[in-house]
Every structure is written in structure tokens, then in C-alpha cells.
Amino acid sequence: MPLALLPELSEVRDMLRKFTQRELDPISDIIDKTGDVPPIAREVLHKHGFLGMRLDPAHGGSGASLAQYCLALEEFSRSNRVFTLIMDATSGLTPMAIQQHGTAAQKAKYLPGLSDGTSYMAFGLTEPDAGSDSASMRTRAVRGDGGWIINGRKHFINGGDIADSVMVMTVTDPEKRARGGISAFIVDRGTPGFSVTRVDQTMGSEAVRLAELTFEDCFVPDTALLGEAGDGFKIAMGSLTKGRLGVASSCIGVSDKLIEMCVEQASVRTTFGQKLSERQAIQWMIADSAAELTAARALTYQTITQYEEGNDVGSAASMCKLLCSEMVGRIADRAVQVHGGMGIVRGFKVERFYRDIRHYRIGEGTSEMQRMLIARDMFKNGRVTHL
Ligand SMILES: Cc1cc2nc3c(=O)[nH]c(=O)nc-3n(C[C@H](O)[C@H](O)[C@H](O)COP(=O)(O)OP(=O)(O)OC[C@H]3O[C@@H](n4cnc5c(N)ncnc54)[C@H](O)[C@@H]3O)c2cc1C
């Protein structure tokens, strides 16, 4: 019996798989050919109720659980990472932070547009001099008349170039920093003093772009503060913990797809008069991939289930992110090998996946940072949180 995230979700997986093949794969081909995300990508997700799926129905969402969301990420990532990014921008880091910590007015202002496809949000934590060590950020917000004045620079912000609003983490008390001195603000596109100053293309899909955002005497009213002043670091870290389970799920989806492609290729390709599937060297690569995926999936599903049961999954989520992001790198590498020359031909899915998955070991906390969090928990509590 295949591993199930939650038994009641197995039918949902079938539905998601068919939807991905029927609706998303043709759009993925367009994305690969043009290097851009056509409007239909968001429209299709909207039409089928996936935009803002984790948001409360009162705000136009479907009230989906983290398990349902992660299952959708797993299935959509089999097609193209772009779809998981749209999901994140409308149901992930920033939207869920607003749902959890926002005022009634903030929820009413920002959340409905995420579900109906008219708005998009980004998450602004990283700076040129503060990546892994995000608490050393320099972006400052100081009190002004009736609000705050923000100065500083964020970079590597996914979707920052197209986002309608960004959650921006700033230092409000340099003495306290991560211990109550960092605050989160929601800054709208078009706010004077806020501009997109660079857009980076990265390894992987050309359609995925990271933006540099600059704040020069950018005034935001008190109503832009998310949560209490000083809560920003806690809010950001809480979002990232759940985000890591989303990253793990995406890695699982790509791995699953790549293994499936390897089995198909090995079953039809003949060399020296025999199918590749009959060669032990090829079998072992596929077997190693399948064994790693099964173990990583079991850990991730268990952790998601524990989250759904109300447990703090802190460093267990780090373990999932670490294991799954490192695993997908090995599986993509083996997939290229099994496909031979075809595996490195531009326009062929294996080649795109190989480039596209590299960032999973970096974004939302590098592998080294995940190890640090796990080790910290081991030394403090003698075990990993909630396993
Ligand atoms: C595709 C992608 C999307 C992203 N999207 C966003 C986004 O939407 N919003 C956002 O805010 N950020 C985003 N980021 C930024 C990402 O979170 C940072 O790149 C990441 O946290 C690492 O920071 P850095 O790049 O500055 O590397 P650095 O912190 O400079 O690290 C460089 C290397 O040193 C290692 N290292 C650092 N400190 C230690 C240590 N103490 N011990 C051992 N090793 C260490 C790191 O693990 C890494 O290998 C994104 C990044 C990528 C790749």
C-alpha cells in the first residue's frame, strides 16, 4: 500500500494528479518555451479553487489544511515549480502570516484578493549582508508621525517584482534585534520610497525571478505593522517552519516524477540487445532513489500529521527540508544518468528539473542552517522537536 499523507487524502491525490496532467502540464510547456509565466497559470489555479486554498472561507479561501496544501504542492511540483510559487504567494509564507497575526482590517484588505487571483504577495527577509544570519539585517524602520519610515534593501525576493504587497522585516530596536527588536510591515507596491531596483534570473526555470527591493524614506502608516512591534522575527521564523514542510513536499513531488520517468525510460531503452531495466547498474540507481524517497516521504508525512495534531514541529520540519532537498539533488543526478544524453538536452523535462531543484538546498534556510537548528534542538532538548 503506498504511503498516504492522511488516509482520507488518497482520493484527493488522484484528483490532483489528473488536474496536473490535464491542466498544468500544457502550461508548463509554455513556461519552458517562453521563459515567462502566462496569465493562464494563475487563472487555472483560481478556476479550480487552489489560489488562497489555506485561507479561511471568510476571506475567500477554502480553509484547506497544511496536509492538503502540501499534497497539492507535491503534485503540482511534478509539473513545474512555478505553480508551487503561485501557491506560496497566495497561501504560503506572507498570506498565512497575515491570516495568523493580521488585524481584521489587514485581513479584509489583503486576503480576498489572493483567493480571487487579483493580488500576489512576497516575503521580504533576506538582505545583501543578511541571509542565513537574517537577524543581522540592516533595514530599519523608525517612528514617524502616525507611522514608520523604512530605509534599507532586501534581495532574492521571490516574485518581488510582480507582488502587489510585500511583508518586510525591519529592525525597530537595534539593541534587541531577534529578541523583540525586529518588526514586520506590509508594504504595498506604489508606496512612495519603495521600488524594485533589480531583478535576478537564477539557475533553473527562466520564469523564476528574484527581486531586489529598495526602501528610501518609505513612509508606512501604523496600520501596516503586522502583529506587535518587535514580533517580526518570531512571525517570520514561524512562517518559515511551515514553509519548510512545503519545500519538502515539493522535493518529494519532483523526486517521484523523476523516478517514474527513469522507470519508463529504462523499460523502453535497449542497449547491447537488452533493456536498461535488466541492467543491475540502472536498477540500483532507481532502487536507491526509491528507497530514499520512501524514507523522506515517511518522515515528512509524519511531521505534517503531527503539525495537524497541534504539535510544535520546529526542528522536525528542518529535518524534512534538509533530507528532501538533498535527496532530490541525488535523484535528479541519477535521473540524468539513466537518461544518458537525453538527460541533458534543453527542453527535456529531466534537464530542467536537474537545474530547477538546486535552489531547494538554499532558499528558506540552507542545508547548513537546517543542521544548525536540528543540532541546537538536540543539545537543548536531547531530541528533535516532535519526533
Ligand atoms: C530560489 C530562491 C528564492 C528565495 N526567495 C526568497 C524570498 O522570497 N524571500 C527572502 O527573504 N529570501 C529569499 N531567498 C534567500 C534565501 O533565504 C537566502 O539565499 C538563504 O537564506 C541564504 O542566504 P545567503 O544567500 O545570503 O547565503 P549566506 O548566508 O551568505 O551563506 C553562504 C553559505 O555559507 C553557509 N553558512 C552561513 N552561515 C553559516 C554558519 N554559521 N555555519 C555554517 N555554514 C554557514 C550557508 O549555509 C551557505 O552555504 C531565496 C533564495 C533562493 C535561492
| CATH value at residue 141 | 2.40.110.10
Does 77 lie in the same domain as 48?
yes
Residue 2 pLDDT: 52
| Domain housing 279 | 240-381
Residue 231 DSSP label = B
385 pLDDT band, cuts 50/70/90, is: confident
Q: Hey, is 274 helix, strand or coil?
A: strand
| 70 in a structural domain | yes
| 323 in a structural domain | yes
Strands (E), 172-233: 182-188, 194-201, 209-221, 225-226
Per residue in 216-251, pLDDT (tens digit) is 999 999 999 999 999 999 999 999 999 999 999 999
| 235 in a structural domain | no
Does 246 lie in the same domain as 226?
no
Among the three residues 97, 115, 133, which one is the final residue of a domain in this structure? 115
Nearest CA to ligand 1 atom 16: 363
Per residue in 275-316, pLDDT (tens digit) is 999 999 999 999 999 999 999 999 999 999 999 999 999 899
Does 197 lie in the same domain as 106?
no
Catalytic residues: 364
Cα 81 → chain centroid: 9
Per residue in 330-367, pLDDT (tens digit) is 999 999 999 999 999 999 999 999 999 999 999 999 99
Does 284 lie in the same domain as 210?
no
| Cα dihedral 229/234/235/241 (nearest 10) | 170
Is the distance from the beta carbon of residue 10 to the nearest atom of ligand 1 less than 6 Å?
A: no
Is the distance from the beta carbon of residue 131 to the nearest atom of ligand 1 less than 6 Å?
A: yes
Pairing type for strands 121-124 and 165-171 reads parallel
Centre of ligand 1 to C-alpha 300, Å, is 22
Quick check: 1 pLDDT over 50? no
Does 138 lie in the same domain as 96?
no
| 322 in a structural domain | yes
Q: Report the residue among 187, 366, 370 best suited for mutation to probe ligand 1: largest number of ligand atoms under 8 A from its CB.
A: 366
Is the distance from the beta carbon of residue 283 to the nearest atom of ligand 1 less than 6 Å?
A: no
Task: Read off the pLDDT of each residue in 38-50 and give the average, rounded to a whole number.
Answer: 97
Does 153 lie in the same domain as 74?
no
Centre of ligand 1 to C-alpha 167, Å, is 18
| 206 in a structural domain | yes
User: Rounded distance, CA 81 to CA 34, Å?
Assistant: 15
Nearest CA to ligand 1 atom 23: 131
Does 333 lie in the same domain as 267?
yes
Is the distance from the beta carbon of residue 201 to the nearest atom of ligand 1 less than 6 Å?
A: no
Is the distance from the beta carbon of residue 124 to the nearest atom of ligand 1 less than 6 Å?
A: yes
Does 367 lie in the same domain as 259?
yes
User: Rounded distance, CA 364 to CA 247, Å?
Assistant: 8
Kindly report whether the global pTM for this prediction surpasses the value 0.85. Answer: yes
Indicate which CATH number applies to the domain containing 34.
1.10.540.10
Does 101 lie in the same domain as 24?
yes
| 68 in a structural domain | yes
Neighbours of 340 (CB within 10 A): 13
User: Rounded distance, CA 37 to CA 52, Å?
Assistant: 18
User: Rounded distance, CA 32 to CA 207, Å?
Assistant: 8
Quick check: 387 pLDDT over 80? no
The residue type found at 54 is R
12 pLDDT band, cuts 50/70/90, is: very high
Nearest CA to ligand 1 atom 38: 132
The residue type found at 152 is G
Quick check: 386 pLDDT over 90? no
Does 307 lie in the same domain as 224?
no
Any bridge partners for residue 199, and if so which?
211
Kindly list the distances between the CA atom of residue 59 and the CA atoms of 94, 96, 205, in Å, as whole numbers in the listed order: 15, 12, 32
| 292 in a structural domain | yes
Nearest CA to ligand 1 atom 9: 157
Non-local CB neighbours of 320 within 8 Å, separated by 6+ positions:
244, 245, 248, 296, 299, 300, 303
Percentage with pLDDT > 90 across the chain: 94
Per residue in 126-164, pLDDT (tens digit) is 999 999 999 999 999 999 999 999 999 999 999 999 999
Per residue in 47-98, pLDDT (tens digit) is 999 999 999 999 999 999 999 999 999 999 999 999 999 999 999 999 999 9
CA geometry: angle 381, 383, 387, nearest 5 deg: 125
Backbone angles phi, psi at 290, to 5 degrees: -65, -40
Is the distance from the beta carbon of residue 363 to the nearest atom of ligand 1 less than 6 Å?
A: yes
Centre of ligand 1 to C-alpha 18, Å, is 35
Does 175 lie in the same domain as 101?
no
The residue type found at 26 is P
Q: Report the residue among 156, 203, 233 best suited for mutation to probe ligand 1: largest number of ligand atoms under 8 A from its CB.
A: 156
Half-sphere exposure of 335 (CA within 13 A, CB side): 30
Among the three residues 54, 83, 115, which one is the final residue of a domain in this structure? 115
Nearest CA to ligand 1 atom 52: 363
Nearest CA to ligand 1 atom 12: 126
Is the distance from the beta carbon of residue 123 to the nearest atom of ligand 1 less than 6 Å?
A: yes
Kindly list the distances between the CA atom of residue 365 and the CA atoms of 52, 121, 130, 339, 375, in Å, as whole numbers in the listed order: 24, 20, 12, 31, 15
Residue 4 pLDDT: 72
| 387 in a structural domain | no
Among the three residues 230, 262, 286, which one is the final residue of a domain in this structure? 230
Residue 228 DSSP label = S
The residue type found at 207 is A
Is the distance from the beta carbon of residue 205 to the nearest atom of ligand 1 less than 6 Å?
A: no
155 exposure class (CB count in 10 Å sphere: 0-12, 13-18, 19+):
buried
User: What is the position in ligand 1's atom list of the atom closest to the CA of 364?
Assistant: 17
Quick check: 254 pLDDT over 50? yes
DSSP assignments along 38-69, one per residue: -HHHHHHHHHTT-TTTTS-GGGTS----HHHH
Cα 179 → chain centroid: 26
Total domain count, the chain: 3
Does 145 lie in the same domain as 29?
no
Per residue in 161-208, pLDDT (tens digit) is 999 999 999 999 999 999 999 999 999 999 999 999 999 999 999 999
Is the distance from the beta carbon of residue 200 to the nearest atom of ligand 1 less than 6 Å?
A: no
Rounded to the nearest integer, the mean pLDDT of the chain is 96
Indicate which CATH number applies to the domain containing 280.
1.20.140.10
